[in-house]
Amino acid sequence: MYRSHVLVCGGTGCTSSGTPKVLEALNKEIKKASLEKEVSVVQTGCHGLCALGPIIVIYPEATFYSMVKPEDVPEIVNEHLLKGRIVTRLVYDETVTEEGITSINETNFYKKQHRIALRNCGVINPESIDEYIATNGYEALGLALTKYTPEQVIQIILDSGLRGRGGGGFPTGLKWKLAKGNDADQKYVCCNADEGDPGAFMDRSVLEGDPHVVLEAMAIAGYAIGASMGYIYIRAEYPIAVDRLTIAINQAREYGLLGNNIFGTDFNFDIELRLGAGAFVCGEETALLTSIEGNRGEPRPRPPFPAQKGLFQKPTILNNVETYANIPPIILNGSDWFSSMGTEKAKGTKVFALGGKINNTGLVEIPMGTTLREVVEEIGGGIPGGKKFKAAQTGGPSGGCIPSSHYDIPIDYDNLLEIGSMMGSGGLIVMDEENCMVDIAKFFLEFTVDESCGKCTPCRVGTKRLYEILEKITAGNGTMEDLDKLEVLCKYIHENSLCGLGQSAPNPVLSTLHFFKDEYIAHVVDRKCPAGVCKALLSYVIEADLCKGCTLCSRSCPSDAISGKVKEAHVIDQNKCIKCGVCKDKCRFGAISIR
């Protein structure tokens, strides 16, 4: 029996900022203080506040320590664990108030969140099936198998209004119903864990923090559609998630929660992992299924849809990790509970990965219909340096941007589509006035050009041409005709590509062109980059009256482009300047400006 639980975040974010060393120090110090029989150290999944890692939470006090370094550990053990004195200097600032230390749930970051898919992340030990069971784990599976018919299970999911969380937003219950309706000797349940959008990592966090929920949900889906086999397609770049899933599958088999005659019924179900080699196109459903079959991951035309002919030509359902994470709570709490959250057409919550120019980089789960302003200003803690919000990019390379004129838009599938963006898997990249929108569009195009599988011409050649036009514009060689060409080409690629990758690839260009046309025009007509990003269009200049002649810039310049005598104003030779910006960073007098 332990009197205190020390939860150490073992998500990928915290792991890369030093969890393994902190954990090692913790175990050493606890042993030194002879507390190992009183204090249990548990490695959990992601808490969401990745920017502040490594995170340690100590119960029963629920003290939330952030940015813990190995050298802080002796103090935590000797003060907090031994003497019960909270080490205030290491506690997350937001929880320290005049009245003392408040609960983490009272902070701006967590207050407006509603955690369903992430409910166990950071709370349980993902490598312990018992801890998952303690939080009502596998109860939903037991209930479905013993109390409900497959039709009833599908009806509950239909009534809940749950829609796919991977991007498209197709009603999950309908997908299951279609697969159920197709008779076959064998059907399959697949899980899409090939999270490839740059900046999105919610699926990884669910798998790392709560792997059993996905297994349980897949078994429920198997029961509903009449499948006995499931595959999780996960990218090999997620080693921690792969490890925890492997452990979870073994534990579930040991407990008889996977295998034959689950819960004493005649239902049999097993799950295997398939590792993807990291191709973005394998997140597309037909390409993913082709890859599981052992073939090169390329999409194929639909119909037939996977619900008719999917994996190995058998009826198959494919859902995303976050979608599955919602299934057990819906079965346990009922469809009314779930559909009471969110908006009219989008129920429940959505997890977003906040990134870019935002203070609280990390994972947040919010009810559908929360406004972008609330997400950025309140939960995300605003933009660093008091800079102005310019736009947010959602949906990664398939999505578009939301400009400040739509700052108060309630986030759901349809609202985002209407303004030319999409929910996508939930990456949300915040941009301020120092981001160039043409450059952003170019960045995403570079990604899609790289990741296009090459099967169909509109995508393979079209995205490359789009990228070249954008390159021309950012190099200062664009013409107004190029802008028209961009638009025509975008429409062509959208209408003619084989799969979602190509069809949505023009979105970043179209939406920036729509909302920030003046920025494109500035690049073309004035040969200027208003945000000061596109190097070819910038020149660094020393303001003679501000320059003190300290020579620091000239000594720092990597290309010897700055000349001048001591205590006299310096000059930059534009022919030699490589626009690296080192001089501007080094100057103590603010004498160097960008024109």
With respect to another protein, which residue has the nearer C-beta, 146 or 477? Answer: 146
Nearest approach, Cβ of residue 129 and another protein (Å): 9
Give phi and psi for 222, each to the nearest 5: -60, -45
- Residue 222 contacts residue 258 (beta carbons within 8 Å): no
Nearest approach, Cβ of residue 473 and another protein (Å): 53
Helix, strand, or coil (residue 128): coil
With respect to another protein, which residue has the nearer C-beta, 149 or 295? Answer: 149
Nearest approach, Cβ of residue 95 and another protein (Å): 12
With respect to another protein, which residue has the nearer C-beta, 58 or 376? Answer: 58
Residue 180: CB atoms within 10 Å = 20
Nearest approach, Cβ of residue 49 and another protein (Å): 17
With respect to another protein, which residue has the nearer C-beta, 14 or 262? Answer: 262
First to last CA, the chain: 67
Nearest approach, Cβ of residue 56 and another protein (Å): 13
376 vs 51: CA distance, rounded Å: 15
Nearest approach, Cβ of residue 359 and another protein (Å): 25
- Between the CA atoms of 344, 139, 12 and 297, what dihedral angle is there, to the nearest 10 degrees? -70
491 vs 466: CA distance, rounded Å: 11
With respect to another protein, which residue has the nearer C-beta, 64 or 338? Answer: 64
Q: CB within 8 A of 267, min separation 6: which ones?
A: 145, 222, 223, 261
With respect to another protein, which residue has the nearer C-beta, 142 or 476? Answer: 142
Helix, strand, or coil (residue 571): strand
Nearest approach, Cβ of residue 122 and another protein (Å): 10
Nearest approach, Cβ of residue 291 and another protein (Å): 32
* Token pair belonging to 382: 């605003």
Q: Kind of pairing, strands 270-276 and 229-235?
A: parallel
DSSP string, 301-338: -SSSPTTTS-GGGS-EEEEEHHHHHHHHHHHHH-HHHH
CA nearest neighbour of 368 among 175, 153, 112: 112
Nearest approach, Cβ of residue 465 and another protein (Å): 56
With respect to another protein, which residue has the nearer C-beta, 262 or 489? Answer: 262
Nearest approach, Cβ of residue 42 and another protein (Å): 9
With respect to another protein, which residue has the nearer C-beta, 102 or 496? Answer: 102
With respect to another protein, which residue has the nearer C-beta, 138 or 338? Answer: 138
- State the burial class of residue 134 (Cβ atoms within 10 Å of its Cβ: 0-12, 13-18, 19+): exposed
With respect to another protein, which residue has the nearer C-beta, 147 or 555? Answer: 147
Nearest approach, Cβ of residue 253 and another protein (Å): 11
CA nearest neighbour of 200 among 398, 406, 471: 398
With respect to another protein, which residue has the nearer C-beta, 77 or 441? Answer: 77
The residue behind tokens 């829609």 is: 163
Q: CB within 8 A of 287, min separation 6: which ones?
A: 279, 281, 297, 298, 299, 300, 453, 499
| Contact positions vs another protein (CB under 8 A) | 1-5, 7, 37-38, 59-62, 82-85, 103, 105, 123-124, 130-131, 133-136, 138-139, 142-143, 146, 255-257, 261-264
DSSP string, 481-501: HHHHHHHHHHHHHHHH-SSHH
CA nearest neighbour of 5 among 116, 151, 118, 125: 125
